[in-house]
Amino acid sequence: MSRPPQFEGVSEDNKKLILEYACFRQDVQKKSTKTVKGEKTALAKLCKFFNSKHLQEITEKEMIEFFATFDKKNSADTYAINIMQFYTWHLRLKKKQRPKNMEWYEFQTMQQKEKLKDPNAKEKYFITRQEYEKLIQTSTDIQEKALWEILYLSGARPSEILSMAIGHVQDNGDGFIISVPESKTRPRKIPLNEFPEYLRLWLEKHPYNGQMEKPLWIKKKYRTKQWMPMNYASVREIFYRAIKAAKIKQTLTLKSFRKTRATLMFSDTEKNYKDSEIALFFGWSNNAVGQRRCDYDLTGFNDLLKKVHGDTSMPPSYEKIKYEKEQLEHQHQSQIDQIKEQMNVMQKQLHTLSTPLAKSFLQDGNIEPQDVPKEVMRFQKNAEKIIKLAQSKGVSKYEIDKYKDFIEKLLT
């Protein structure tokens, strides 16, 4: 039997121990598949770093060498948590008691995490309504459209959405409700604030239409062409292909849907959701909502900006008035220059038509108006428009009179 790629380079003893721990986490502690997979990856990486050495024999000094290979502190913290939890289980330690080989490790403080955050992260990961609609429009598969729609409207984690069966979609008459049976926090029901048009179409065209226990999101096996549940890796691949085709922000991820919905609900001043309601909607604890508000609410800085810049009792300074005057003069002069250029172009165009028109007048002094070339009439109307525009924009009277004289001499 071939060894899974995750465990290549891992000894049989360590592999057996890791799988036993994974079963405990999943079957007893009811951790999600994604969580357990991350823990197995962390432990397998630790084993590979020390070749065939047993996990129980790794010393503090060796742990320091292992964590020195991490470039990002966030990643190191995640691995440290996974490794400590394993040793707590393996060594039968008390809760919050650290294994001896990890007593030295220091996690980032909240202040350190805040310093490392990208100040533009909110904007980078927020999906605007225009971007969402463009994503829907460019996706050609009805299941893809339905998937983006539910991720956007529900704000559920991608892993929660992928755990759904057909029977987890309900229409109670007032609106649609979806149920997420698997969650890293708690399973729950989520009301949708809009009618899920594409989800309804997908349910109608679903190969298992009416079979409530069948998975809602499916794909075909490559060889057998049989339907199977869609996994996270497949959805992520489809999503990155979709945002590239839609030509929207390439900084977006699948988690952007959840962050966007949280931002919209935190920023909704009409409904003014309570923290307890937001916690129930997203599957958070009540204590976690405050931090999430700091992470996802976009209104904070904008409100502060209005208060600081928008309402002031102090009169404007001389420097500010001077700056605004210079800006207006520059803008005004640019408009005048554009009009002058239009007038010059008009003069040249009229001059090219004046020669045949003059010859026609010399031949016969009784020319009827309908015999005047249509092009001249058109230029005459344009000339009148340019004169009015020039007057409204402050072009000097000398320039306008000079232009009027030219037109009158030409057409009389």
Instruction: State how far the alpha carbon of 38 is from the alpha carbons of 16, 26, 46, 80, 170, in Å.
Output: 17, 12, 13, 12, 33
Q: What is the mean pLDDT of residues 363-384?
A: 57
- For 188-236, write each residue's pLDDT tens digit: 999 998 899 999 999 999 999 999 999 999 998 878 889 999 999 999 9
- For 235-288, write each residue's pLDDT tens digit: 999 999 999 999 999 999 999 999 999 988 988 888 888 889 999 999 998 888
Q: Is 271 helix (H, G, I), strand (E, B) or coil?
A: coil
- For 321-356, write each residue's pLDDT tens digit: 777 777 777 777 777 777 777 777 766 655 554 555
**Model confidence pTM above 0.75:** no
Question: Taking the domain 122-306, which CATH number applies?
Answer: 1.10.443.10
- For 260-271, write each residue's pLDDT tens digit: 999 889 888 888
Buried b (16+ CB within 10 A) or exposed e, 190-218: bebeeebebbeebbeebeeeeeeebbbbe
Which amino acid type is present at position 238? I
More reliable by pLDDT, 179 or 75? 179
Buried b (16+ CB within 10 A) or exposed e, 114-144: eeeeeeeebeebbbeeebbebbbebbeeebb
Return the closest-CA partner of residue 37 out of 29, 27, 47, 25: 25
DSSP state of 9: T
188: β partners: 180
Q: What string of DSSP letters covers 86-119?
A: HHHHHTTPPTTPPPGGGTT--PPPHHHHHHHS-T
Q: Is 177 helix (H, G, I), strand (E, B) or coil?
A: strand
The side-by-side arrangement of strands in the sheet containing 169-171 is: 169-171, 176-180, 188-191
